[in-house]
Amino acid sequence: MITQETAYTLIEKQFSAELTDAEKADLDEWMLDDANRSAFIDKVSDLMLSASEYQAYDAAYWQPVLNSVLEADRTTAQLQALPYRKRMLLPWMAAAAALLLLLWGTFYFTRQQKQPDTAGIQLIKDVAPGHTGAVLTLADGRTVALDSLPNGVVATDNGAEIRMDGKGLVYNNKGTAATAYNIISTPVGRQFMLTLPDGSKVWLNSASSLRYPVAFTGKERRVQVTGEVFFEVAADAARPFRVETERYGVLEVLGTAFNINVYADEKHGATTLIAGAVRVNSGRQQLVLQPGQQAQVSATQAIQLNANANLAQVTAWKDGVFNFANQPLEVVMRQLARWYDIEIVYEGHVPDIEFFGEMGKNLTLQQVLHVLEQTGVKFKMEETNKLVVMP
């Protein structure tokens, strides 16, 4: 019997018309050897679009979609968005599904020169993905737009030199003793990275902000956040690092890397530890996290521990990916709203749908919706960048 990986290779050869008779026999045996595999193949066949449903092919439109799918790791089943209605596939079945759907699409895109019918999605205009950018507010109220700035000094503030270095913003303390604060904020559709005066690295997701001093001169390093922010904190045992939130208390950082999500439109705040340790203090409870754990803090300041957080999903935004694993429609649409700067409106009830898999954040809105509408959900865009979700 051939291995699972060999089976995937043979499936690929079959769609590219390179399969020999002997290889076809091996592949048929593999698919028919297990009843689950046979049922799975039948289901994948149902999901595939027939050639008659394709229209004119547009390589410029579809190539980013295919590239995004090809970046997925087949061996770990990190799939491109393949949504399912309240069902989960076994890992090998999920990996095979992604591969089969990819190969089917590639076969028709490259050999039949066709493109999916887009009639189901009514967009007045397509929406480009977000990009790197932020607004820096200095201590005296001056603002600096940081989108596409060249490397070099962008401002000075109370003795601190602020530079763009190709990766983000960097502070060079020139000896200030003053307590002056800057704010970095990312509008909807932007992400940004900066290095704080102590060497700590910070990534801001869309619609987020960070308030921090231009120099850490006291006995602690304290910053304030909104939205979603990822930290890699520089070690300094003499000056603890604390992150303050408006609704969910204070984090005392005892280690290095963690993600904090305190968007106002989410049901709870969440702190997820990647490495080191953090103490979550909601004002009502305290909890020290270990790597891989997540603290969810409710509006009543109650803390609930998730001992096995999906770290890949939590940090996907930082790596330029949407990770929709086990996510309901409303959560997915909130992510899209922040990245594409759109308003989401539901026509009727909210469809009871869960998704799994990954999708690159470099795709346009229409490319994303083409994948998501395979659940049966329909979308239309109104003139004011309002996306209507229709069951």
pLDDT at residue 177, as a whole number: 58
Query: Would 34-117+320-391 and 228-318 be classified into the same CATH topology?
Result: no
* Contact of 87 with 40, CB cutoff 8 Å: no
Residue 224 makes CB contacts below 8 A (sequence gap 6+) with: 210, 211, 212, 243, 244, 245, 246
* Contact of 80 with 68, CB cutoff 8 Å: yes
List, for residues 326-337, the tens digit of each pLDDT value. 889 999 999 999
* Contact of 259 with 314, CB cutoff 8 Å: yes
The greatest distance separating any two alpha carbons of the chain, rounded to the nearest whole angstrom, comes to: 78
pLDDT greater at residue 46 or residue 351: 351
pLDDT at residue 373, as a whole number: 83
pTM for this prediction: 0.72
The residues facing 184 across adjacent strands are: 136, 210
Cα angle, residue 249 at apex, residues 245 and 252 outer, rounded to 5°: 90
Give the residue extent of every domain in the chain.
34-117+320-391, 129-212, 228-318
pLDDT greater at residue 280 or residue 76: 280
* Contact of 343 with 350, CB cutoff 8 Å: no
CA 114 to chain centre: 30
List, for residues 259-299, the tens digit of each pLDDT value. 999 999 999 999 999 999 999 998 888 999 999 999 999 88
Rounded CA-CA distance 298/179 in Å is: 33
- Which range is least confidently modeled, 37-46, 151-160, 165-174, 349-358? 37-46
Q: Give the confidence band of 301 by pLDDT, cuts at 50, 70, 90.
A: confident
Number of Cβ atoms within 10 Å of the Cβ of 357: 23
The CATH number of 34-117+320-391, from 3.40.50.150, 3.55.50.30, 3.40.50.10800, 3.40.50.300, is 3.55.50.30
Average pLDDT, the chain: 78
Number of Cβ atoms within 10 Å of the Cβ of 347: 12
| Residue position matching structure tokens 């109220």 | 141
Does the structural domain 228-318 have CATH classification 2.60.120.1440? yes
Rounded CA-CA distance 199/147 in Å is: 22
